[in-house]
Amino acid sequence: MTGKGTAATLLLVACAICSLHGQVPQPAQPQQETTTPTAAPLAFETVSIKPAPPGSIPFIPAFIRDKTAPVYGLQTMAGAVWLTISWAYRLQISEAKAAFEKQPGWVKKQIYRVTFRVEGQPTNEQLREMFRTMLADRFALEIHEFTKEGAVNKVVLSKPGLLGPKIHPHTEGTNCSTQGDASVGKAPDPSTPSVTNCGFSWYYTSGGLLHVGITNTTVVDGVRALAGIGVPGLDTKPIVDGTGLTGKYDLTLEFRPDSGSPRVDPGADDGAPTLIQAVAQQLGVRLESGTGPVRIVLIDHISEPTPD
C-alpha cells in the first residue's frame, strides 16, 4: 500500500474509534419463551459489495468522521473489512489488533467498495446495526466476546484538576460543519473565514506536522482516537479513563508523526513533539500502566463476501 493509502487507512481507524463514546454493542440475552415476535435486525434497503482495484485507498465517509452527519439515500464507503467490523462493533485499536491478528490476509488488506441505500434518516447507532447485519449476511461473520482482567493504559491528568491549553469544554449549540469529502485532509485556506469541523478532522501543516481536531468527545475517547493513528505503545493495550471527567470536550493537537504512522512530509520538524508528548503538553493528560477489565473480541468465522 502506498504512503497515502497507509495514511488514509490509519486515519480511518482513528475516525472510527473517535465515535466510541464508551459504548459497545451489548451481548445477546438468552431467549425466553414468549408470544411477542422478535424484531428483525435493521438492514440496508440495498447493498453492493465489490473488491476495489489494487492500489485503491480507503474512502472515509462523513458519517464515520462525524457521528452527527445526516445519512440518507445512497451512500458509499471503501475500506478493508476489518475496519468496517471495528466501526460496527466499536473496537478500540488494541481490541482490533488482537481480534484480527490470526485472520486471513484479505481481511486486513483487501479494500471493498460498499454502496448501500437506507430508508429514512437512521441514527449513527442504527447505521452500525445495519452494518453488523450486512457483515453477518454477506461475510458470514460470526463473533463473540468476553471480559477478563488484564493490562490497560489509564488516562490520568498530568496535574490534578487541570487540563492542557488545547482542550476546552464543548458548548452545546456551538456551530461546526460536517467537512465536505473534497476537503478531507486539506489544510484550511487562510484567506477564508475559519470553520470548525464537526467530529474528527485532520490536515498536515506546511511544516509537516499532523494537525488533528476532535469535537464533542470525552477525554478518554479523544485519546483512544489518537491511539488509532497507529503510534507504537498506544495500540497494544485498551485505554481506560482515570481522569474522572465525564463531560464532552473539543480539542486540537499538533505533533510530529511517529515512525510507521501516516507521515506525508519527510522533512517534518524533528523538534516538534511526538504524539505522546503532545498529549501531555497540549491536552494535559498522560498514560499510566495498570490492570482492569479487558474486552476480548474473537472472530469465530468470516468469509469473502458473497457476490451481488
| pLDDT, position 145 | 97
Q: What is the pLDDT of residue 133?
A: 98
Angle 266-224-88 from CA coordinates, rounded to 5° = 105
Residue 27 banded pLDDT, cuts 50, 70, 90: very low
For the stretch 192-216, pLDDT in tens is 777 788 888 888 888 888 899 999 9
pLDDT per residue over 57-83, tens digit each?
A: 888 888 888 888 889 899 999 999 999
**Which grid cell sits at 73?**
439515500
C-alpha cell at 192: 477564508
Judged on CB neighbours under 10 Å (0-12, 13-18, 19+), 208 is middle
pLDDT at 8: 55
pLDDT of residue 271: 78
Lowest mean pLDDT among 93-97, 201-205, 246-250: 201-205
pLDDT of residue 36: 57
- Average confidence (pLDDT) over 181-188: 71
**Mean pLDDT score, 291-304:** 97
Q: What rounded mean pLDDT belongs to the chain?
A: 84
Specify the pLDDT at position 164: 97
Please state, in angstroms and rounded to a whole number, the distance separating the CA atoms of residues 139 and 102.
17
Reported as a pLDDT band with limits 50, 70 and 90, residue 191 is confident
- Per the model's pLDDT, the better-predicted residue between 113 and 199 turns out to be 113
Would the pLDDT of 230 be above 80? no
Q: What is the pTM of this model?
A: 0.84
Q: b vs e for 70-103, b when ≥16 Cβ sit within 10 Å of the residue's Cβ? A: ebeeebebbbbbbbbbbbbbbbbbbbbebbbeee
Give the 3-state secondary structure of residue 206.
coil
Show the cell assigned to 293: 477489565
Average pLDDT over residues 216-230: 88
Higher pLDDT, 12 or 59: 59
Percent of the chain whose predicted confidence (pLDDT) is above 70: 81
Per-residue pLDDT tens over the stretch 249-290 = 999 999 987 644 444 444 555 678 988 999 999 999 999 999
Sign of CA dihedral 149, 155, 158, 161: negative
* Residue 33 pLDDT exceeds 70: no
pLDDT of 85: 96
Q: Please give the pLDDT value at position 28.
A: 40
Average pLDDT over residues 174-187: 70
Mean pLDDT for 160-179 is 86
Lowest mean pLDDT among 135-144, 174-183, 197-206: 174-183
Angstrom distance (rounded) from CA 177 to CA 69: 9
CA 213/CA 251 separation, integer angstroms: 6
